[in-house]
Structure 1
Amino acid sequence: MTSKTSPTPNPPAAQTAAAGGPHEPAVVVKGTWATAKQSFRDLFRWQQRVVITNSQGETYEEWQNPPPLKNPFKLFALLTAKQWLYFFVGFYAWTADAFDFHALSIQTTKLAKYYGRSKTDITTAITLTLLLRSVGAAIFGLLGDRFGRKWPMIGNMIILGLLQIATIYSTTFQQFLAVRSLFGLFMGGVYGNAVAMALENCPTDARGLMSGIMQQGYSFGYVLAACANLGVGGATETWKTVFWIAAGLSIGAGLIRLCFPESKQFLEAKKSGHKITAGDFWGETKSMLAREWRMCLYCVVLMTWFNYYSHTSQDSYTTFMITAKELDSAAGTRASIWMKVGACVGGTVVGYLSQFVGRRRAIVVASLVSCCMIPGWILPEGERSLSASGFFMQFFVQGAWGVIPIHLNELSPPAYRSSFPGITYQLGNMISSPSAQIVNAIAESHFVTSSKGNRVEAYGPVMGVATVIIALGIAVTTALGPEKLGRHFEEAGPAGANVSDAHAHLQEKTADAVSLAESKQGQHSSANEVEHKV
């Protein structure tokens, strides 16, 4: 298949000097298959393909040597106090969101006893939550891009807290499922707005590190939920106490967000008197979808793999240790906490390294190493061994995940950094929604012999085989996919503003063209007049 190449704008001297001297332009091919082959070859070249924006707003790609690894504390120092505050609010909202979700998944056995249902029945609530998250992501992500990040996030977090309280008062299993479905709808809107708020103004050099930390709000939320579960004890009714804590965290996140102003882009648009109409917004959205549909499809496929990756390896892990490894509830919860501590460390470390080795290389290596870790993850016996193996397994699983927030932001159309990451992430969640149910259903219908000679449900083999397939899928998909390392999106206006700007620019060019034509016509008339007189 012959690949076509696109012209590369010549970088101005000032731009190349700022980048540390002239660099070799990187050829950009056209076509899906040609781009996939180019992406795969790029993995084996030490230099990185970097997106550059010149002073005229043109973007092009060039080859650059990987930047030297910087002291992480110096990277932290690049953020201003305001940027830190916005980052922490986004991180806290994502942590509270994760706590809300895991308050159910780590208490599956308690809820099964409370409602008199099987563990597989209880995981139906997880499936419904994940199914409806994509709807919430679309609604609240587009609201965030249209009206700003602030009020959609406030509404999300407060309603999530109220739905946690409604779960506590659900007296029947049908009420429980209905409330969790609504919970999924509102939960879906959190990720896109939280990540956009936390990362959109981060300095370029610090993005990898901050992305890794941001993503681990999910793991940190799990750790907090597991600690809460450990603290309340193993009695059946104690699940309600964990849900009360979750409600307080979510409502608190909404109230804290209330104290902060809107994002920089929307404030500047408002100050300039720029009015974005609904027609402008939807006009730009349609144009973006027509132009970027391949990127949208790729990111949905990638996030489907990633959501299977995390839910398959995590959601049933506590159940695996209690049921298959025959640990008591407290020991299983402690091992889960260590597993998620490994996730927090791994996400931060691999996210930091992605600034040096590139986003895709970091994901591919982390996912392949996690494949090699699987035997050591499911075969050990005892709390200590399982805690250690869980730590290192999740170090690499969430290490790959740690690159995702900034990778999705860099791949996003600049004006859609609230909706694009959130919708693609939650569509992946929707497609992978049955993951916990599938694992539980297969494990509960197959049995293995434990180290104590008992017949136990086959959670270990099921989770191990599924995770190998998923990790290999992530490695292949990422290796063939795009990367836009170094992309600048800080000055992009809100969705709809670019249509208005384009109209204004077109009108200005039209007026200039008309003026030039009139001038030429006047000169031509004068020349004819002179000629006639002569």
Structure 2
Amino acid sequence: MEGNTAITDPESNSKNNNNNGRKQAQNPWKLIMSLNRAQKFTFIAAFLGWTLDAFDYFIVIFSVPFIAKEFNMEPSDIAGSITITLCFRPIGAAIFGLLADRYGRRYPLMVDIILYSVMELASGFAPNFLVFIILRGIFGIAMGGEWGLGAALAMEILPPESRGLFSGILQQGYATGFLLASLLHFAVVDHIGWRAMFWIGSFPAILVIIIRVFVPESPTWKAQQNVRKSTGSTGKAWLQSTKLVLKHHWRRFIYCVLLMACFNFLSHGTQDLYPTFLKLQLGYDTTQVTILTVIANIGAIIGGTICGYLSQLYGRKVTIIITVILAACFIPLYLLPKSFASLSVGAFALYFCVQGAWGVVPAHLNELSPPEFRGTFPGLTYQLGNLISASSAQIEAKLGERFKKDGKSNYGLTIGILSLIVMASLVVLTLFSKEYKNVNFIEQAEQGDLEINEEEKLKEEKK
């Protein structure tokens, strides 16, 4: 993807690049217990941050039919708020990512969590759809910042040999948030109403206390700062590195955006409209929808963890490709059966594979990231991919309402067709990806900033 560049490329550090070699399997429990206190608290905070962020997002997914009824609108119109949330996420990734590259990961992450918690609380008081959709847009900004900051902080502090396992666990904060939202939906929506779900969803602000007290700053970012301070050019080096990253790594940036667009189409296309499909097309009640969602997300959590761990043994690309192909095989079982038992098996299997592929993403995307831009690059490419896929639920809803089956909107047809197209695209794109498994982030960061300083000196000498 790249030519010769002045910015450090992981490929140039061959002693840390174990792409092609398979390491002997390590006991997952030993990997977990090998973490020190700071690493454990950092990972827990990153996991909870993403879990609660996803939890707040999925509250809308489950509330679509109820919000539509109260505002006297079609479900496809309410799904527009999901699109708006996804569209604003790249803004948050850029803002909070740049702040994280300049001022460290911790404080921008704390501000981000407070912002999305406040917006979630306010959403529960929205008097009309216009106010609701504005609040969801601001929530999208905060949601866009959380993943990149949390993933960078976690991946930078963890040992390289454990990245695969913890990448899988970290990404399943998304499925865990989905699971918690489904349980809240079951316990609250029929008894208290959809607004109460948003009020309860504001409690993640408490997580800021944990981050402030127990989570240290990223050692990779601190190493960069030490190099910059030693040259007396902290602010200048940050601006220069940002310019050089954009100059030399734009091809990689575009590639990762396209890759993440396929990943986000894969998850949103299979999941966002599924509760609506179950309720409105199949006629399932709240209890049945909740049980199916719980089963599916248990599959997601198991799949993401296992496949993340396997990616450490067999590589990031191989793991992604195999799990996506398996997911395509389970699409018919996910949508076509009319029996609850068969749908349960299909939902478990599909979510296992979809989130199994996703479990590789935090490690893979951070390893592909230029070291000087790691606070911004993973989150921004992720959220720009989200922007491209933002309308997936609304497209599925609109098409489903147009193509009827037995007098009902045929959401299942559009979910299946879109998902299979995206799965094929993702397999092809992944084949062209590079892989930098086990690259040393701290050495990479120090070398990158030294090269930037050398380039600055050469420019001054020429002048």
Amino acid in the other structure paired with 1:149: R
> Residue 172 and residue 495 in structure 1: after superposition, are their counterparts in 2 closer, same or farther (change >3 A)?
farther
Q: Tell me how far apart the structure 2 counterparts of residues 63 and 246 of structure 1 sit (CA, whole Å).
A: 41
Q: Deviations along 1:15-67, whole A, 9 cap, x unmatched?
A: xxxxxxxxxxxxx9969xxxxxxxxxxxxxxxxxx95736xxxx786774411
Amino acid in the other structure paired with 1:53: N
Q: Does 1:75 align with 2:31?
A: yes
Amino acid in the other structure paired with 1:223: L
Residue 53 (structure 1) aligned to one of 5, 10, 13: 13
Q: Tell me how far apart the structure 2 counterparts of residues 279 and 467 of structure 1 sit (CA, whole Å).
A: 45
Q: Structure 1 residue 264: deviation in Å? A: 2.1
Q: Deviations along 1:370-415, whole A, 9 cap, x unmatched?
A: 1111111111123332222101111001111110110001100012
Identity, % of aligned pairs? 36
| Maintained 8 Å contact 2:186/2:290 | yes
| Maintained 8 Å contact 2:18/2:439 | no
| Maintained 8 Å contact 2:171/2:362 | yes
Q: Tell me how far apart the structure 2 counterparts of residues 62 and 189 of structure 1 sit (CA, whole Å).
A: 30
Q: Structure 1 residue 498: deviation in Å? A: 4.2
Residue 462 (structure 1) aligned to one of 395, 414, 422: 414
Q: Structure 1 residue 467: deviation in Å? A: 0.6
Q: Tell me how far apart the structure 2 counterparts of residues 244 and 404 of structure 1 sit (CA, whole Å).
A: 31
What TM-score do you get using the length of structure 2 for normalisation?
0.92
Q: Tell me how far apart the structure 2 counterparts of residues 69 and 161 of structure 1 sit (CA, whole Å).
A: 40
Pairs within 5 Å for 1:512-527: none
| Maintained 8 Å contact 2:305/2:356 | yes
Residue 7 of structure 2 aligns with which residue? none
Q: Structure 1 residue 326: deviation in Å? A: 1.2
Q: Structure 1 residue 506: deviation in Å? A: 6.1
Q: Tell me how far apart the structure 2 counterparts of residues 76 and 113 of structure 1 sit (CA, whole Å).
A: 47
Pairs within 5 Å for 1:311-322: 311-322=268-279
Q: Structure 1 residue 253: deviation in Å? A: 2.0
- Secondary structure of the 1:84 match is helix
Which structure 1 residue ranges, 5 or more long, are not aligned?
Answer: 1-27, 32-49, 450-454, 511-534
Q: Structure 1 residue 290: deviation in Å? A: 1.2
- Secondary structure of the 1:189 match is helix
| Maintained 8 Å contact 2:260/2:386 | yes
> Residue 265 and residue 203 in structure 1: after superposition, are their counterparts in 2 closer, same or farther (change >3 A)?
closer
> Residue 330 and residue 277 in structure 1: after superposition, are their counterparts in 2 closer, same or farther (change >3 A)?
same
Residue 258 of structure 1 aligns with which residue? 212
> Residue 89 and residue 63 in structure 1: after superposition, are their counterparts in 2 closer, same or farther (change >3 A)?
closer
Residue 481 (structure 1) aligned to one of 433, 441, 445: 433
Amino acid in the other structure paired with 2:296: M
Q: Deviations along 1:300-341, whole A, 9 cap, x unmatched?
A: 000001111100100011111111211112211211111111
> Residue 175 and residue 30 in structure 1: after superposition, are their counterparts in 2 closer, same or farther (change >3 A)?
closer
Residue 224 of structure 1 aligns with which residue? 180
Residue 254 of structure 2 aligns with which residue? 297
Residue 375 of structure 1 aligns with which residue? 332
Q: Structure 1 residue 493: deviation in Å? A: 4.0
> Residue 288 and residue 372 in structure 1: after superposition, are their counterparts in 2 closer, same or farther (change >3 A)?
same
Amino acid in the other structure paired with 1:456: K
Q: Tell me how far apart the structure 2 counterparts of residues 494 and 441 of structure 1 sit (CA, whole Å).
A: 50
Root mean square deviation of aligned Cα: 2.5
- Secondary structure of the 1:106 match is helix
- Secondary structure of the 1:200 match is helix
> Residue 90 and residue 62 in structure 1: after superposition, are their counterparts in 2 closer, same or farther (change >3 A)?
closer
Residue 424 (structure 2) aligned to one of 472, 496, 501: 472
What TM-score do you get using the length of structure 1 for normalisation?
0.80
Q: Structure 1 residue 112: deviation in Å? A: 0.9
Q: Structure 1 residue 421: deviation in Å? A: 0.4
Number of aligned residue pairs? 453
| Maintained 8 Å contact 1:212/1:352 | yes
| Maintained 8 Å contact 2:19/2:435 | no
Q: Structure 1 residue 480: deviation in Å? A: 1.7
Larger displacement relative to structure 2 (74-83 or 275-284)? 275-284
Residue 165 of structure 1 aligns with which residue? 121
Pairs within 5 Å for 1:103-252: 103-235=59-191, 238-249=193-204, 251-252=205-206
Q: Give 1 or 2 for the bigger CA radius of gyration.
A: 1
Q: Deviations along 1:63-100, whole A, 9 cap, x unmatched?
A: 74411222211222332221111111111111111011
Which structure 2 residue ranges, 5 or more long, are not aligned?
Answer: 5-9
> Residue 153 and residue 326 in structure 1: after superposition, are their counterparts in 2 closer, same or farther (change >3 A)?
same
> Residue 496 and residue 239 in structure 1: after superposition, are their counterparts in 2 closer, same or farther (change >3 A)?
farther
Residue 400 of structure 1 aligns with which residue? 357
Larger displacement relative to structure 2 (167-176 or 380-389)? 380-389
Q: Tell me how far apart the structure 2 counterparts of residues 303 and 245 of structure 1 sit (CA, whole Å).
A: 30
| Maintained 8 Å contact 2:372/2:445 | yes
Amino acid in the other structure paired with 1:171: P
> Residue 498 and residue 139 in structure 1: after superposition, are their counterparts in 2 closer, same or farther (change >3 A)?
farther
Q: Tell me how far apart the structure 1 counterparts of residues 219 and 21 of structure 2 sit (CA, whole Å).
A: 32
